[in-house]
Structure 1
Amino acid sequence: MLKKKTSVLIVSADGNPNKKIQIPTFLLSYWKHIAFSFTTVVLLGVVGIVYFVNHRNEKRYAEVYLEKIDKLRKRNQQLTLDDASKQVNIDDVRRSINNFDSTLNRINAKMKKRGLKALAINNAGGPIVEDDGNLEELAKYYVNMLEDVENRLDGAPFGRPHSGRITSRYGYRGNPFTGGGREKHSGIDFKGRTGESIKATAKGTVIFAGYKGGYGNLVAVRHANGYETRYAHLSRIRVKRGQRIDVGTTVGLLGSTGRSTGPHLHYEVLQGGRTINPEKYFQF
């Protein structure tokens, strides 16, 4: 097929023969088909190269994207765990704050029984909160502080046993019967009406409940830390010896028994067996 050749005369621009070459007749007869096939092969090669390059880039981009997606997934999981941990901490703090509130409410109830103003704690001077991690410790601090206040309040005779006007204070005074001389008044007298309730100012144990000389009908209560309170001149006694009582328990009714000039309550506070001025305990 390639042995049969055809002479081709190459003519210059001025029409003169310049050169003659021989080309296989097959190429002249099928040059269109050959050119088309060659072009097709070249195009297919180019397309293949483009496809290969694009495929390689897509694979590389896919790996990068998958890596980023994996990092985002792990970050999201960590954030979820952190949120869960923070929620647990918040729940712990909320429980501590609820304990704080309940303790404060108990204290204020006891303050009310004593005729004292409710306890309000603002800027109490606790530990400084530098970050969220200290919130639980702060709540524990306040709860412990309030529990300590509550324990002290339970064992000390704070407040007034009766709301009446004070007619005679602690210390030396003139003799109320003769009007002359001076005598030591070991407590405070509250004016009132016969039959009005007399309240205990602290929890404790009744160590005396009966008639005792100038005190008349007397109730004596022993408290924590060496405290003792006495409620004298009662018209009626409402507790028994050995009975454990709480703050606000009615120990008796106001009267005028014993060495008394009229209906009133004689109230004493002792510590270590010695009388002290009850008015020191009228404010918390």
Structure 2
Amino acid sequence: MLEKKTSVLIVSGDGNPNKKVQIPTFLLSYWKHLVFSFVAFMLLGVVGIVYLVNHRNEKLYADVYLEKIDQLRKKNQQLSLEEATNQTNINDVRRSLNSVDSTLNRINAKMRKRGLKAIAMNNAGGPVVEEEENLEELAKFYVNMLADVESRLDGAPFGRPHHGRVTSRYGYRRNPFTGRGREMHSGVDLKGRTGEPIKSTARGTVTFAGYQRGYGNLVTVRHANGYETKYGHLSRIRVKRGQRVDVGATVGLLGSTGRSTGPHLHYEVLLSGRTLNPEKYFQF
């Protein structure tokens, strides 16, 4: 195919023959096809190179994006874990503060039974602190503090057994029957109407429920920590010896039995057998 050749005369610019060359006839006959094939081959080469470069760049970009996505995923997992931990801490604090509220509600219920003012604790969680973990410790402190207050409140005779006004105070006084001389008054007298309920001022056990000279119908209750209370001149007794009574339980009804000048309650507070001024226990 390349053996058959055609002579080509090369002419200079002035028309004179310059050089004669032999070119295969095949090239002269199919030069257009050859040029087209060459151009197509070059284009395919360029396209291939561009494709390879783009493919390589895409892979590099994909690797970078995948790395960033993986970093974001790890960050999101970390944030989710921190959020879950924070939520757990918040829930723990909320439960602790709810314990404070429930304990405070129980204490205030007992305070009202005694005729005392309720404890006001706005923002029971305490002062604001910067570190969240201290909130839980602060809540625990309040829970323990209130539990201690509640325990002391249960065992100590705080409050009033009756709402009547004090007509005779603790200490020495004139004889109420003769108006002469002095006598030791071991409790306080609270004025009232016959039949009004008399309440126990603390949790305890009834050690006496009956008639006793001077006191008339008398109820004696033993409490924790050596405390004891007495309720005298009752018209009726509502408890029995050995019975457990809670705060605010009715132990009897107001009356005028025994050594009495009229309807009233004689109320005593004792500690280790020694009488105390009951009015000091009217406030918490």
> How far is the alpha carbon of 1:16 from its aligned partner?
5.0
Provide the C-alpha distance between the structure 2 equivalents of 1:18 and 1:166, rounded to a whole number of angstroms: 152
Structure-2-length-normalised TM-score: 0.91
Q: Name the CA distance, whole Å, in 1 between partners of 2:83 and 2:66.
A: 25
Counterpart code for 2:237: I
* Matched position secondary structure for 1:211: strand
Which residue of structure 1 lines up, in the alignment, with residue 226 of structure 2?
A: 226
Report deviation, 1:231: 0.7
Cα distance in 2 for partners of 1:158, 1:20 equals 137
**Structure 2 residue 177 is the aligned partner of structure 1 residue 177:** yes
Amino acid across the alignment from 1:7: V
How many angstroms apart in 2 are the aligned matches of 1:104 and 1:209?
Answer: 33
In structure 2, what is the Cα distance between the partners aligned to 1:135 and 1:155? 30
Cα distance in 1 between the residues matched to 2:148 and 2:203: 16
8 A contact 1:226–1:271 mirrored in 2: yes
2:111 is the counterpart of 1:115: no
- Paired position in structure 1 for 2:81: 81
Q: How far off its partner does 1:125 sit?
A: 8.9
Matched, 1:91 2:84: no
- Alpha carbon RMSD of aligned pairs, Å? 2.1
| In 1: Cα distance, 2:16 partner to 2:180 partner | 168
- Secondary structure of the 2:214 match is helix
Offset of 1:123 from its aligned partner? 5.9
Distance between the aligned counterparts of 2:195 and 2:147, measured in 1? 36
| Correspondence list, 1:19-58, <5 A | 19-26=18-25, 27-58=27-58
Shift of the 17–171 alpha-carbon distance from structure 1 to 2, 3 Å rule, reads farther
Cα distance in 2 for partners of 1:204, 1:108 equals: 19
Runs of 4+ that moved beyond 4 A: 123-128
Residue of structure 2 in register with 1:200 after alignment: 200
C-alpha distance in 1, partners of 2:18/2:137?
Answer: 106
| Inter-partner Cα distance in structure 1 for 2:33 and 2:226 | 124
Matches within 5 A, 1:130-279: 130-279=130-279
Alpha-carbon offset, residue 193 of structure 1: 0.8
The answer on whether the counterparts of 1:187 and 1:267 sit within 8 Å (CA) in structure 2 is yes
The alignment partner of 1:163 has SS state of coil
Aligned partner letter, 1:190: L
C-alpha distance in 2, partners of 1:274/1:23? 146
Q: Is the 8 A contact 1:206 1:222 kept in 2?
A: yes
1:109 deviates by: 0.9
* Distance in 2 (alpha carbons) for counterparts of 1:248 and 1:115: 9
**Letter of the aligned partner of 1:183 in structure 2?**
E
Paired residue secondary structure (1:214): coil
Supply the distance in 2 between the matched residues of 1:209 and 1:21 (Cα, whole angstroms). Answer: 152
Q: Does structure 2 retain, via aligned residues, the 8 Å contact 1:127–1:138?
A: no
Q: Provide, for residues 135-185 of structure 1, a one-character-per-residue CA deviation record: whole Å limited to 9, x for no partner.
A: 332222221111111001001101000001111111222221111222222
Structure 1 contact 129–138 (Cα < 8 Å) conserved: no
Work out the percentage of aligned pairs sharing the same amino acid. 74
- Name the TM-score, length of structure 1 as normaliser: 0.91
Give how far 1:117 is off.
1.2
Structure 1 distance, partners of 2:17, 2:69, is: 71
Inter-CA distance 185–124: structure 2 relative to 1 (3 Å threshold): farther
Alpha-carbon distance in 2 for matches of 1:21, 1:9: 6
Q: 1:96 to 1:83 in 2, by over 3 A?
A: same
1:195–1:235 CA contact under 8 A, matched in 2: yes
**Contact 1:196/1:253 (8 A) holds in 2:** yes
Matches of 1:56 and 1:87 in 2, distance apart?
46
Which residue of structure 2 lines up, in the alignment, with residue 8 of structure 1?
A: 9
For residues 208 and 152 of structure 1, the distance between their equivalents in structure 2, rounded to whole angstroms, comes to 23
SS in 2 for 1:184: strand
Distance 1:166 1:136 in 2: 45
Partners of 1:88 and 1:123 in 2: how far apart?
21
Letter of the aligned partner of 1:24 in structure 2? I
Preserved contact between residue 126 and residue 141 of structure 1 (Cα < 8 Å): no
1:228–1:269 contact (8 Å) kept in structure 2: yes
Q: 1:141 to 1:229 in 2, by over 3 A?
A: same
